[in-house]
C-alpha cells in the first residue's frame, strides 16, 4: 500500500508541472500519499482484505482522516479518487455499497491525484498501467468514464512510468 501511494504521489508530482493552472504541490503530495488510507479499514483481524466492499475504501479513508482531525481537503482525496469519480447515479445504477452522493474530483489537486492513481495498480502483482490499458479498463464502467480519462490525458499528457519501473521493478501493462 505504501509503495502504491508513493508511486501515485510521484506521478502526480511529475504531472504537476504540466498543470495549466496553479496547484499546491504540498497538497498534491499529501493527497497522493493518503488517498488509499481507507483500505486499511477493510482488513479483518486475520489480515484478510474485504474485496466485496473495496469500493468503500474512499469514504472509509475520508472518515478516518476526519476522525483524526484532519481537514476535509485531505479527506476528499480519499473519497474522490476512485475510478474517474463516482456519482450518485453510478451508486444507484451499480448498487454500490457507499452512501449516496457525488464523489468526484473538484480541485486541481484532487484531479491530479485521481488521474495519477490510474497509472498504478496495487493488485497482485503490482503493475504500472499504460494509458491504453487504463482506457480499456475504464470503458467497462461506461463510455463517459473513458472519455473523461482521455480528456485528462490530453490535458496532462502521458506520465513517464520508466522511473517507477526502474525503482520498484513493476512491469508496465
- Arithmetic mean of pLDDT, 43-52: 95
Place of cell 483524526: 68
3-class SS of residue 35:
coil
> How does pLDDT run across 76-102, given as a tens digit for each residue?
999 999 999 999 999 999 999 999 999
Rounded distance, CA 139 to CA 165, Å? 25
Find, among 97, 96, 91, 34, the residue nearest to 64 by Cα.
34
Cell of 77: 482525496
Q: How confident is the model at residue 18 (pLDDT cuts 50, 70, 90)?
A: confident
Pick from 4-8, 15-19, 56-60, 165-169: least confident = 15-19
- Mean of pLDDT values over 155-166: 96
Report pLDDT for 123. Answer: 86
Residue 20 has pLDDT above 80, yes or no: no
Amino acid at each position: 500500500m505504501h509503495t502504491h501511494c508513493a508511486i501515485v504521489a510521484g506521478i502526480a508530482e511529475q504531472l504537476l508541472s504540466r498543470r495549466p493552472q496553479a496547484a499546491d504541490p504540498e497538497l498534491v503530495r499529501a493527497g497522493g500519499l493518503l488517498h488509499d488510507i481507507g483500505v486499511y479499514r477493510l482488513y479483518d483481524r486475520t489480515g484478510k482484505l474485504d474485496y466485496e466492499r473495496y469500493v468503500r475504501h474512499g469514504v472509509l479513508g475520508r472518515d478516518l482522516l476526519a476522525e483524526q482531525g484532519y481537514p476535509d481537503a485531505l479527506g476528499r482525496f480519499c473519497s474522490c479518487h476512485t475510478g474517474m469519480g463516482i456519482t450518485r447515479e453510478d451508486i444507484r445504477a451499480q448498487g454500490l455499497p457507499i452512501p449516496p452522493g457525488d464523489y468526484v474530483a473538484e480541485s486541481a489537486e484532487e484531479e491530479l491525484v485521481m488521474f495519477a492513481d490510474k497509472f498504478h495498480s496495487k493488485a497482485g502483482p503490482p503493475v504500472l498501467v499504460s494509458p491504453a490499458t487504463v482506457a480499456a479498463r475504464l470503458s467497462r464502467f461506461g463510455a463517459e468514464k473513458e472519455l473523461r480519462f482521455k480528456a485528462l490525458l490530453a490535458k496532462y499528457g502521458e506520465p513517464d512510468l520508466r522511473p517507477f519501473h526502474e525503482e520498484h521493478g513493476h512491469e508496465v501493462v
